Amino acid sequence: DKDLVLVIDYGTQSVRVSIVDRFGKFVAFEQEKYNEPYFSLKPGYCEQYPDYYYNCMKKASLRLKEKHPDLLLRCSAISSTCFRDTAAYLDKDYKVLRPSIIWLDQRFAENKKKLPLLYRIIYALVGISKTVELNRKRTPAMWLQENEPEIYSKIKYYAPLNCYLNYKMLGVLTDSASNMIGHYPIGFKKGKIHSKYNLVGIVYGIDPKLIPHISKVNELIGYITHECALETGLPEGLPYYTSGSDKACESLGSGCYKKDTAHISYGTASTVSIMNQRYIA
């Protein structure tokens, strides 16, 4: 019977490949810790090559196949989640142009290029000018434009990391808006890419055309390719359904789906979150 699901969780310090039953029970589990979660060219810098995460996942999945080949054959689908606010910078051929600037990175852009006056006036009237400027400084795309313009000009796809990892498995560069959280011009509630004139989208300085296609949550977007199956041991043709970001999945998986229940996550960064229809703080 196809009564199990295969799940991949890309964390900041390790990747986990698991097989789960319909009740949420883990029936098989493999973890690959990163020997080098990131490298720092300068103090405060945190970078890593996107393929490093995929290569670590391969090690875990191959061990899983070796130990539980029978359980893999019972898997009906696969999905994955990933840490947020980390992008892969790809050229027109889907090749990585430079290491990813991961969410732990502490560098700031200088915001040399100012936003249009009308937008600055609107932000000032609403009282969010400082918040807007801080978010622009914290956006890796802004730093790349200022410090590595030649590389940035070659970017064809400014892809949230899990989009790229999906591409490695499926040959399709897409994911759900819930798994594309970070400094991107994306409206996650409606699952749409903001226009370059949008009051929120313009803050990040990223051309909307660079953002990959956004799929719906729980949408079938592809199947494990022959090449991926050879590399990872994952069943060829296994259907892949989109999921959500790491913290979102944790909240729902913990049963915290009402606004009167808080979810505490002890990860590389500890968080407390509450499900709500609108953002509060």
Q: Which CATH architecture has domain 4-244?
A: 2-Layer Sandwich (3.30)
Percentage of residues of the chain with pLDDT beyond 70 = 99
Average pLDDT over residues 44-50: 98
Q: How confident is the model at residue 109 (pLDDT cuts 50, 70, 90)?
A: very high
| Predicted structure pTM score | 0.93
Closest alpha carbon to 245 in 96, 32, 79: 79
pLDDT band at 72 (very low <50, low <70, confident <90, very high): very high
Q: Where are the domains of the chain?
A: 4-244
Tell me the pLDDT band of 185, cut-offs 50, 70 and 90: very high
CB burial readout 77-109, b (16+ within 10 A) else e = ebbbbbbbbbbbbbeeeeeebbbbbbbbbebeb
| 129-137 and 117-126 helices, crossing angle to 10° | 120
pLDDT in the model for residue 281: 60
User: Residue 168 region, left (φ>0) first, then alpha (ψ -120 to 50), else beta?
Assistant: alpha
CA 58 to chain centre: 18
Predicted confidence at residue 267, as pLDDT, reads: 76
Go through the chain and tell me how many residues it has.
Answer: 281
Judged against a pLDDT cut of 90, whether residue 263 lies above it is answered with: no
Asked if 212 contacts 164 with a C-beta cutoff of 8 angstroms, the reply is no
Average pLDDT of span 91-100: 98
Average the pLDDT over 86-96 and give the result.
Answer: 98
